Structure 1
Amino acid sequence: MKNTFFYTLIIFFLSITVFAQEGKQIKVQSDRTIKDQNRFPGATILAKVDKQVYMQHEGIEIWCDQAVHYGEDRFVKALGNVIIKQGDTLTMTSKYAEYNGNTQFAYARDQVFMETPSNTLSTDTLFFDRLKQQAYYRSGGTVKDSSNTLTSKIGRYFMDRKQYSFNTDVKIVNPENTVDSDRLDYFTENGHAYLYGPSTVKGKESTLYCERGFYDTKVKTGYAIQNAKIDYDERTVFGDSIFYNSAIQFASATNNIKVLDTANQSVITGHYAEVFKDKDSVFITKRALAATLQENDSIFIHSDTLMITGKPNHRIMNGFYDVRIYKSTMSGKSDSINVNQTTGYTRMLGNPILWSQRNQMTGDTIILISNTKTEKLDSLKVYENAFLAQEDTLKAGYNQVKGQILYGLFKDNELYQVDIDKNTETIFFQRESEGELKLIGINKVLSSSIRMLMSNREIEDVYYYQNIDGTLYREIDLPENARELSGLNWRGEEQIKSKADLFRGEAPLELIKIKGIPLPKVEDDFFDEDTVKRLEDNKSEGSRLLEQELKDAELKETNEKLDSLQNLDTITPKTEIKEDVEKETRKDQKKTSMIDLDMSRTAKERDSITVTTLQYKEEENNKVIDSLQKQ
C-alpha cells in the first residue's frame, strides 16, 4: 500500500514536470512550413505567404517573414521584418533575430529598433535578457525620448528602473544643450542624467565641465563636483561644487571658488559665489579676494563680500565690510569700495586708509584714479579731513600734514607729488641728512596749501603757499602733547605688508560639507558567469549568438577591439531572400493558406499539418532553404 502511494506520488510530480516543459514550448503559426533534415536537422522552416510567421512564448510574441524553428531546443531564428513584442513594455524590430525559450534570451541585429513607452533605441546589434529584463549593445546606439537624443558606443537598459547606463563617447543633444561624457546613467521617466568621468554640458552661451555631476534634462538644471568649472564667454568659474540653471543662465559655486576673467586679467576667489550671465554679475563671499593684473603688478582687494557687474572692459566692482587692499607699492583698508573700470575710479568709503612704506594717508573718502588705457595709477584724491602721517626716521614721533583736500600724482605707479589745500598744518622732525641723523628741531607750520615732492616713497621737499606761519622748536621746547596734530590716529600695526596680511585677524573659515554624488551602483556584467553558462548550456544548432564574444565592453581599448569584431559579424540579409519570398507569395496568392488556431498542438504536430496542406514543390522549397543557409 505504501509502495503504491509512493509510485503514485512520483507519477504525479512527473506529470507536472512534463506539463510544465510542454508549457514552455514556442507556439507557432505559419502559412507555409518546410522540412529539410539533411540541411536543417531537427528544424522546421516557416515562411510568410499572406501573413507573417507568428510565434509566442510565455509573454513574448514574434512576427517575421521567415523563420527556422528548432522545436526540441525551443529555439527560433527569425528573418525579414522581424517584430518582437513583450506585452506593452517593449517592442523590437530588426532584419534578423534569435530567441531561445530555454534561456529566454533574444539576440537581434541589422537595423535594430527597440521601443518602450518612454523612449526608443536604434542600434546595429542588441542583446535582450528577459530573465534580467535588460537590453545591451556595444556597437553604438541612439536613444530618443520626448526631448533628448542620446548616443553612445556602449549602452545597457534596465527595464525595472527605466534606466540606461551609457559608456564611451556618450552624448545627449536637445534644443538647449549638448552633453558629452565618458559614462552617463540616464533615467527615462524624469530625464535625470548622472555624469561620471570627464563631462561637459554645453549651451548656447556657457559650457559646464566636471568629472562627476548631475543634470536634469527637462528643467535644465545641473550639479557638478570634482574639478567642476563653467565657462561664460570670457569668464570661467571654478569650484568644489557648482549648481547650474541654463534656463535663466544662473550658476552658484561652493568652496574653493575661482572666477577667472580673461578680458580684464583678473581672478576672484572665495568660498561661495553666484553668477547671473544675462546680468553680467558675479557675487562672491566667504574670504572673497579679487586680484587684477596692472602693469606686471597685481592689486588684491579682499572683503567679506564682492559684487562685480557690467560687460567686459566696463566692469564695476563693489566690496562690502572690512575691505582690505594690497599692492607691492601700497596697501589700504576701508568699510566699502567701488571700482569703476570705465572711469578708472576706485572709491574707498568709510574710514579709508592707505599705507606706503612709512607713510599713512586717511580722510573721509579716498579716490584712486587709474589711466583707463594704460591701467596705471594716475592720481589720487582725499576729500575732507585729509591727513598724511609718516613715522620719524628714528621713531621719535610722526611727520604730519593735515588739510581739507589732498591731491596726489603718480608716475610709474609711484606717488611723486602731493598737494594739500585749505587750512593746512604740518609737523616735521628735521634731522641732519648725514651721520647720526641728529634732530635739528621740530617744525610746526600753518599755511593755505602745501606741495610735497616724494622720492622712493619718502618726503624729499615741502613747499608752503600763502598765509605761512611757522616755528622751528627745539625738542625740549615743544611738549609731547604738542607734537601731534588733532586727528592723528597712527595705525601702523594694521598695515598690510603682504598678501597673507589681507586675512590677518580673521577667524578660520569652516567650509560647509559638499553633498556628493555617489558612484554608480556596482552591477554584475550583462554577460556575467551565470548568464554565459546559461547560454552555453542551451546552445542550439545554427545560433549566431554564441559566435559573438560573450563579454561586456568597458574600456575604450576594448571597445575598439569589439567594434572590429562587430563589423565582421554584421551580415546584411541577402536581397535574394526577400525576392524569393515575394516570388513564392505571388505564385500562391490564389491558394488558401492554413493557420492552425489550435495552440494546444505541439510544434511537431503543427509542422506536419501545415506541410501536408500547402504541398509546395520541392524545387521552390529549396530556394527558400538555400537563402536561409546563407544567414
Structure 2
Amino acid sequence: MKLSVVINLLFLFLSLFSSAQESKIKILHSNQTYADQELYPDALILNGEVRVKHEGAIMTCKKALYYKVQNRLYAYGDVYVNQGDTIKQYSNHLQYDGDSKKALSWGQVRVKDKDMTLTTDTLRFDRSTQVLSYHCFGKIVTDKNILTSQVGKYFAKDKKLTAKQNVKLVNPDMTLKTGHLDYNTNSGRSYLYGPSTIKNEDSDLYTERGIYNTKLSLGYLLSNSVIYHQNNEIRGDSLYYNQSDDFASGSGNIVITDTVNKIVVKGDYGEIYRKIDSMIVTKRPLAISIVEKDSMYIHGDTISITGSENKKLMRVYHHVKFFKSDLSGKCDSLVTRQAEGITELFNNPVLWSDKNQITGDSIRLISDKTTQKLDSLKILKNAFIVNQDSIEGYNQINGRNMFGKFKDQRLSTLLVKGNGAVVNYARSEDTKDLTAIMKMECSNIIFSLENNNIKTIRFLKQPAGKTYPPSEFPEDQALLKGFIWRGNERPLTKEDIFIHD
C-alpha cells in the first residue's frame, strides 16, 4: 500500500476518533462520584455541584446519572443548561442524549434567549436543530407580548414560534385568540390559521386566515374576515387594518354596515378613515339605505360617506342610478345631507315617482327627519313632469321651477313658478273615457293630484290657451317645449341600476 494512502487513512481515523470524543458528554466536576450497580446498573452517579459539558453547552445540577456507553445523562435538582450566548434553560429534571443531542426537561421549565422567555412544565429540546417544543401548555414572553398555548414549537435560529390549541397573544394594545399561529419574535408578525379574533381598545377583528403585526398594529385579513368598530362593521375577501392610523381598507365583495344610520355600502374596493368619519367605495359600489320593508339602492362609479353619527354626508358621482319600489332615478352626481334630510340630484337628473317622470337642471328631495319618509320636492330650472296617458299621449307640466308635497310617498300638490304650461288629458271618473284635452300657459299654477293623476288645476294669474274636445285637439300642440320621454332609462329593479345606458 502506498505511503500517501496510509497517511490519508490515518488522518481520517484520527478525525473520526476526535469527532467521537467531542460528541461524548464530559464530566467537569462533582463533589462525589461513585457507582451503584444494584440501583443504577452501568451508571456513574454524580452528586453535589455537578458540572458537565457537551459540545459548547455547560450543564449544572445537584445530582446526575451518567451512562458513558449510551452517552446519556439524567440530571436532578436545580438543573441549569447554558448554551453560550444563545439559550439558557432551567428545570427540575433533565434527560439528555449526547448522540442525538436531544433533551427532555420537566418540572418548572424556563428557557431564555435574548428575545424571549419560555415557561412550561415539560419541554423537548433538539440542540442539533435548535428547536424547542412543548405539549402541556406553555407561555412565551417577548418584549411586550405574552403568548400562551397548549402546544408550541420554538425555532431558536429563526426566532419563530408555532403555537396550536387555545392560542392567546396579549400585549397592552390588543388580545389575539386563535387555534394555530406562527409568530416571528423579531418582526412581531403573527400568521393566523383558522378562526381567529383580535380585540383592541375600539375594534374587534375576525378572520380565518391572516397576518397581524403586533409591533405595528397592522392586520392583513385574508379569508372570511370582519372588522367591528363601535356601530360599524366591514367585511370583505381581503381586509387591511392599521390601528395607529385608525384606517381600514378592503377588496373583493366589501360590505360596510352602519347599524346606527341604517346604511349598507357594498363594492369591490373600499377605504375607511375613522378619525375623520369617512369612507369611500369604488368598483361597483352600492349604497343601501335600509327602510322597513322597502330599502333604497344607489349605485355610481364612486360612493363617499363622511360625517359623524346622524350627520352623514353621502356623495355619489358619475353614472348614478337608484331604485326603490315607489321611487327611482338617474343623474351624474347625487348628494345626501342626513342632518337636513335633503338629497340633491345634479347634471341631467331624472326622477320617476310612480307614473311620473320628473326632470330639471337639478332636483332636490326633502325627507321628514323623524319618519325618514319623502316630504317634499324642488325642481330648479327647466322643471318638467310627464305622466304617460294610458292611450292617447302624455300629460305634461313644465315651468321655470316647481315645488311639490308628498303624501304617502306620492305627489299630492305641485306649485309651478314661472313660465308654467300644462297639457292634460281629462277622463271621466266612471268610464275613464277621454272627455277633453287642455293646453294652457300661466306663469304660476297650483295642481292637486290624486293617485298620480291631476285632480284640480288653479291658475294664479290669467292663463292663455284653451280646452279642446278630443277630436279637435291639434296634433302639433301635443308636446310642450323641451319634452323628452326617458322611460327606457328607468331602472325597474335593483339590478337595473348597474346597467349603464
Q: Equivalent of 2:180, from 178, 183, 201? A: 183
- Higher RCO by CA contacts (8 Å cutoff, separation 6 or greater): 1
Does the 8 A contact of 1:150 with 1:173 survive in 2? yes
Classify 1:361/1:15 alpha carbon distance in 2 versus 1 (closer, same or farther; 3 Å).
closer
TM-score (norm 2): 0.93
The CA deviation at 1:338 is 1.4
The CA deviation at 1:252 is 0.6
Q: Equivalent of 2:360, from 363, 371, 384? A: 363
Matched residue SS, 2:38:
coil
- Given the alignment of the two structures, is residue 204 of structure 1 paired with residue 209 of structure 2, yes or no? no
Q: Equivalent of 1:321, from 301, 318, 327? A: 318
The match for 2:252 is 255
The match for 2:415 is 419
The match for 2:457 is 462
The CA deviation at 1:414 is 2.8
Matches within 5 A, 1:212-611: 212-394=209-391, 396-433=392-429, 435=431, 438-474=433-469, 477-505=472-500
% identical aligned pairs: 37
Deviates more, 1:259-268 or 1:241-250: 259-268
CA distance in structure 1 between the aligned counterparts of 2:134 and 2:315, rounded to whole angstroms: 55
For residues 256-284 of structure 1, give each alpha carbon's deviation from its aligned partner in whole angstroms, at most 9, with x where no partner exists. Answer: 11111111222111111000111111111
CA distance in structure 2 between the aligned counterparts of 1:96 and 1:229, rounded to whole angstroms: 46
- Given the alignment of the two structures, is residue 33 of structure 1 paired with residue 33 of structure 2, yes or no? yes
Matched residue SS, 1:287:
coil
What is the identity, as a one-letter code, of the residue corresponding to 1:371? D
What is the identity, as a one-letter code, of the residue corresponding to 1:468? P
CA distance in structure 1 between the aligned counterparts of 2:413 and 2:150, rounded to whole angstroms: 70
For residues 331-364 of structure 1, give each alpha carbon's deviation from its aligned partner in whole angstroms, at most 9, with x where no partner exists. Answer: 0112211112211111112222111233101112
Q: Equivalent of 1:54, from 51, 55, 60? A: 51
For residues 222-279 of structure 1, give each alpha carbon's deviation from its aligned partner in whole angstroms, at most 9, with x where no partner exists. Answer: 2111101111111110111011111111011101111111112221111110001111
Give the helix-richer structure, 1 or 2. Answer: 1
CA distance in structure 1 between the aligned counterparts of 2:336 and 2:167, rounded to whole angstroms: 44
Instruction: Count how many residue pairs are aligned between Structure 1 and Structure 2.
Output: 500
For residues 429-472 of structure 1, give each alpha carbon's deviation from its aligned partner in whole angstroms, at most 9, with x where no partner exists. Answer: 2345555x554443111224333333333334433332223312
The match for 1:101 is 98
Deviates more, 1:239-248 or 1:7-16: 7-16
The CA deviation at 1:482 is 2.6
The CA deviation at 1:7 is 10
Does the 8 A contact of 1:295 with 1:376 survive in 2? no
Matched residue SS, 2:75:
strand
The CA deviation at 1:475 is 5.3
Matched residue SS, 1:417:
strand
Does the 8 A contact of 2:319 with 2:500 survive in 1? no
Matches within 5 A, 1:80-99: 80-99=77-96
CA distance in structure 1 between the aligned counterparts of 2:30 and 2:124, rounded to whole angstroms: 26
CA distance in structure 2 between the aligned counterparts of 1:116 and 1:180, rounded to whole angstroms: 25
Contiguous gaps of at least 5 residues in structure 1 = 507-631
CA distance in structure 2 between the aligned counterparts of 1:289 and 1:398, rounded to whole angstroms: 33
Larger Rg belongs to: 1
Matched residue SS, 2:317:
strand
The CA deviation at 1:201 is 2.1
CA distance in structure 1 between the aligned counterparts of 2:229 and 2:73, rounded to whole angstroms: 56
The CA deviation at 1:387 is 1.0
Does the 8 A contact of 2:160 with 2:184 survive in 1? yes
Does the 8 A contact of 1:43 with 1:69 survive in 2? yes
TM-score (norm 1): 0.75
Matched residue SS, 1:161:
coil
CA distance in structure 2 between the aligned counterparts of 1:13 and 1:359, rounded to whole angstroms: 101
Contiguous gaps of at least 5 residues in structure 2 = none
CA distance in structure 1 between the aligned counterparts of 2:169 and 2:426, rounded to whole angstroms: 77
The match for 2:42 is 42
CA distance in structure 2 between the aligned counterparts of 1:178 and 1:23, rounded to whole angstroms: 47
The CA deviation at 1:18 is 4.9
Matched residue SS, 1:490:
coil
> What RMSD in Å do the two structures reach over aligned CA positions?
2.4
CA distance in structure 2 between the aligned counterparts of 1:180 and 1:158, rounded to whole angstroms: 21
The CA deviation at 1:75 is 1.3
